Amino acid sequence: MDIICTTETWCTEEVIALPKEFEEYGTILSPAIKEKSLGRPSGGLAILYKKYIQIEVIEVNNLWILTEVQLDEMHFLLMVNYWKPNSDIDFCVEILNDTLNEMCEKYPNHTWIVGGDFNGRVGILNQYEQETLSANINPQRTTRDNIMNSRGKKLIGQQEII
């Protein structure tokens, strides 16, 4: 794998020592936050990437890591997210919308890869029409979780706007 994105790392450090098997990888981290003296930290994000990949950090905060990636002739924006279950979904969706709009203006020809843990259940929402996607992408998203909640509906509503 050339790029690995993880959420809920629980790692509070800004630098981590990787196992020997990952010595060919660089890291970009958003540390987890320990809000109480007892218990584990919350959140934490990491992108591990093979060191030959050109990757520029655009933004790191407690909600996401946003990068520009150049891999051979491909240029794309990669965003990995973690939204805590008790985070204000309206605020998260609004700031995500602002960031995506800003990045679309700044990088109009880049493809986007956005993923992570939004702590929203979307069930079978967000199926695409084949004509809106390239031939290599399946428009049907498969899931075993058919439950939708308000967080998931707000997130999907936001994605469909963009």
Residue 7 pLDDT > 70: yes
Quick one: average pLDDT of 117-143? 66
Looking only at the bridges linking them, the beta strands covering 3-7 and 45-50 are antiparallel
Give the count of beta carbons closer than 10 Å to the beta carbon of residue 59: 14
Task: Using pLDDT thresholds of 50, 70 and 90, give the confidence band for residue 46.
Answer: very high
Q: Is 118 exposed, middle or buried (CB count within 10 Å of its CB: 0-12, 13-18, 19+)?
A: buried
Measured on CA atoms in the order 65, 106, 122, 127, is the torsion positive or negative? negative
**The pLDDT value given to residue 69:** 97
Could you tell me the pLDDT band of residue 161, with boundaries at 50, 70 and 90? low
Average pLDDT over residues 115-140: 67
Cα dihedral 6, 125, 68, 137 sign:
positive
Model pLDDT, residue 39: 82
Looking at residues 46-70, what average pLDDT do you find? 96
Mean of pLDDT values over 27-49: 91
pLDDT digits (tens, 9 = 90+) for 68-102: 999 888 899 999 999 999 999 999 999 999 999 99
pLDDT over 60 at 127, yes or no? no
SS3 47: strand
Cα R_g (the chain), whole angstroms = 17
Give the Å distances, CA to CA, from 51 to 40, 70, 72, 134, 160: 31, 12, 13, 29, 34
Count how many residues are written for the chain: 162
Q: What is the DSSP string of 122-133?
A: BTT-----GGGS
* pLDDT value at residue 156: 78
Give dist(CA 6, CA 12) in Å, integer: 14
Question: What's the average model confidence in pLDDT over 147-151?
Answer: 84
Torsion, CA 85, CA 36, CA 34, CA 158, rounded to 10: 20
| All domains of the chain in start order, with CATH | 3-119 (3.60.10.10)
Q: What is the pLDDT of residue 71?
A: 87
